[in-house]
Amino acid sequence: MTKIKDIQTYDELYDQVKTYIPEDELKDISRAYAFAYEHHFGVKRKSGEDYIVHPLNVAYILTSINADSATIEAALLHDVIEDCNVTEEEIEEKFGHEVMILVRGVTKINRLTFKNDSEATIVNHRKIIVGLSEDVRVIIVKLADRLHNMRTLWAIPEDRAKAKAKETLDILTPIAHRLGMSEIKSELEDLSLRYYKPNVYFDIVEKLNKTKVERESLVTEMMREVSSILNEHNIKHEIKGRAKSVYSIYNKLNKGKKFNEIYDLLALRVFVDTKEDCYQALGLIHSKYKPMPKRFKDYIAMPKANMYQSLHTTVFGINGNPFEIQIRTYEMDLVAEKGIASHWSYKEGGKVMQNAMEQKLQFFRSIMELTEEENKSSEFMNAVMNDVLKDSIYVYTPKGDVIELPLGSTPIDFAYRVHSKIGDTMVGAIVNDQIVPLDYKLKENDIVKINTNKNSNGPSKEWIKMAFTTHAKNKIKNFYSKIDKNENLKNGEETLVKEFRRKKLSLSTFLESEDLERVLNEYNMNTLDDFYIAIGAGQLTPTQVINFLTVDKPTKEEIVLSRNIRNAKPTVSKNDISVEGIDEIKVNIAGCCRPIPGDEIIGYISKGYGINIHRMHCPNVSDLEERIIPATWQENIDKRYETGILVRALREKNILVDIVSKTVGSNVIIQNINTMESNEEYLYEITLLTHNVDELKKFMNEIRKISSVFDVERNIK
């Protein structure tokens, strides 16, 4: 592991960036440094250093992966929004949109600093993951930021240091690994282990130190031998000894290995020019040293999911000691060390790298799929941790395509990872030419063949338990909710058709009108299908919908009415009615029975309010004989009086329009219609103006002709 050194001055950074960044972009980097220097001026870190040393080193770490100028500027500026109250606008104005986006991204991730509160942690993790989808450079800056913070972790209290180390191991190193950035990942892992489990860490360091001299002399001798073999065959090469990281040893010890059983403690790496040279070198090495069985891996023909390519073998070398040898080209080595960052393009900023990540890294696609499926932060993070960031195995399709799956996966997970259609039609699985049960736990290098039958009835619900990944579980659940959905859709539509028919309403009219939109809005639905599904699932009844439609809105009928109903206020002319024996007194028409010319009437003497005129049949006056005096209509009254009728109709369809249309060719004017409904009938309470009883009777007869009407009568309140 080559540790990227710490620096103290801007000159050291500048010397590095000018080796690969175009000259015209260097002044922007210097401006960013000056801006950060000025804003952090006078502030010290907990380690006692000037604050500016931190962004300076974050930028320096990024030069090790040849980060572009926007990323270097963003690294220098990454803490100024959070710590110095600089605004996004100011950064955009001074350094451009691209730099601002990156600084904003890092600020967003950092804003939720580590708390013991697990929900905050989950939200924080999710932000890191989502940051990947926005611009992978945001995460790359974040990784460098964390790396420098981890180097000075001794300055913060032990429990916080531990928590930070754990977070790094939980989420940041797995991401660095998936991005293929093994150099940064490896240093982060060792630093994390040192604070997370100091006893274990120092125990391993001590053991390594004890054996260091002996190991180094063995490796040097082996390097010399291998080199001379390759030289004999004119293969241009370089060989380096390879120090094993403390964390990788910890991992192997954790898997139950003993310290002296870890074969790659003696390790070397051979660099050659071409792919062909890799295989030739391998052949030569194997012909001289016996290879250890099952330790050979060809990651050139079958690259790892993070694009890693190399040949791996373990051979019995000097004094029979096992040596792990990796053979790769320089180009492969660049990808192995820098990963996604080896795709840095200076012409197109982060875009090329973003594309490379989206297309080449399986883990990114998995995360994006989960982003679409999972909404709750905690479930999403569980799924990401479980499916994507955990230890994984590589298995193969019969054609040799590599599929990366989390350790613990079954053929069901494999099938759904390849394609959900494969999963849905799976009928069996064959692993390494053997039929296996579907809950078989896949192992590294298994070759998996999925048998499908397109006539299968779909996945079994039992598979949800057998599957390991959230991805596969979700796909199976989706399959079932789709079936339920289809059923509800069908039932919902049928129910609605029936109910509309029963109420003599036109479903097609409803579906074509704005009413549909109103109903969807009212019940928060997007499509007609959602609406049918809600009806089918019983979440909504047709009656609810019909009531909503008829109660709340101005119906077509009401619009017609508003045009036909006029507001004419009738006045009683004293001259129209003669009351026996009385001349100069006020005469009112009673509001309860509202008599009109032609009605038999009587007068009722009210205290202080003159004489009220009622119809003779009016139940409200029958008991008041002593106050009653005879009254009559005059002849030839040419004036409309207000009165009321009640119309009862079967509850088949709303006949408002029909009623109103009967006023055409009649002298009756409708003033108001009040519609009431019960289960069996509609009741229309109509206020109208008419000249006399004959005219009214004609009108009432017309209404009786409407088919569903079964009763029309004068209304007495």
Indicate the residue among 77 and 450 with the shorter CB distance to Mn ion.
77
Alpha carbon dihedral 525, 527, 532, 535, in 10-degree steps, equals 0
Rounded to an integer, what distance in angstroms lies between the CA atom of residue 415 and that of residue 59?
43
Q: Which two tokens stand for residue 115?
A: 């708390």
Rounded to a whole number of angstroms, the minimum distance from the CB of residue 145 to Mn ion is 4
Indicate the residue among 35 and 271 with the shorter CB distance to Mn ion.
35
- In three-state secondary structure terms, 612 is strand
Q: Is 83 a catalytic residue?
A: yes
Rounded to an integer, what distance in angstroms lies between the CA atom of residue 115 and that of residue 164?
10
Indicate the residue among 163 and 395 with the shorter CB distance to Mn ion.
163
Q: Cα 79 to the chain's mean position, in Å? A: 29
Is the Cβ–Cβ distance between 388 and 178 less than 8 Å? yes
Rounded to a whole number of angstroms, the minimum distance from the CB of residue 91 to Mn ion is 15
Assign 3-class secondary structure to 224-259: HHHHHHHHHCCCCEEEEECCCCHHHHHHHHHCCCCH
- In three-state secondary structure terms, 104 is helix
Alpha carbon dihedral 178, 183, 184, 185, in 10-degree steps, equals 50
Rounded to a whole number of angstroms, the minimum distance from the CB of residue 292 to Mn ion is 45
Binding site for Mn ion (CB under 5 A): 79, 145
Rounded to a whole number of angstroms, the minimum distance from the CB of residue 112 to Mn ion is 14
Indicate the residue among 99 and 589 with the shorter CB distance to Mn ion.
99
Active site residue: 6, 12, 50, 82, which one? 82
Rounded to a whole number of angstroms, the minimum distance from the CB of residue 139 to Mn ion is 14
Residue type present at position 317: G
Bridge-based pairing of strands 587-589 and 611-615 is parallel
Phi, psi of 70 (to 5 degrees): -60, -40
Phi, psi of 20 (to 5 degrees): -140, -10
Rounded to a whole number of angstroms, the minimum distance from the CB of residue 106 to Mn ion is 8
Q: Which of 367, 431, 354 is nearest to 134 (CA)?
A: 354
Q: Which of 384, 350, 354 is nearest to 368 (CA)?
A: 384
Indicate the residue among 165 and 466 with the shorter CB distance to Mn ion.
165
Is the Cβ–Cβ distance between 58 and 79 less than 8 Å? no
Q: Which two tokens stand for residue 38?
A: 């000025």
The residue of the chain with the least Cβ separation from Mn ion equals: 145
Active site residue: 83, 499, 515, 677, which one? 83
Indicate the residue among 145 and 576 with the shorter CB distance to Mn ion.
145
Rounded to a whole number of angstroms, the minimum distance from the CB of residue 55 to Mn ion is 7
- DSSP lists the bridge partners of residue 628 as 604
Indicate the residue among 145 and 277 with the shorter CB distance to Mn ion.
145
Q: Is 583 a catalytic residue?
A: no
Residues annotated catalytic, as ranges = 82-83
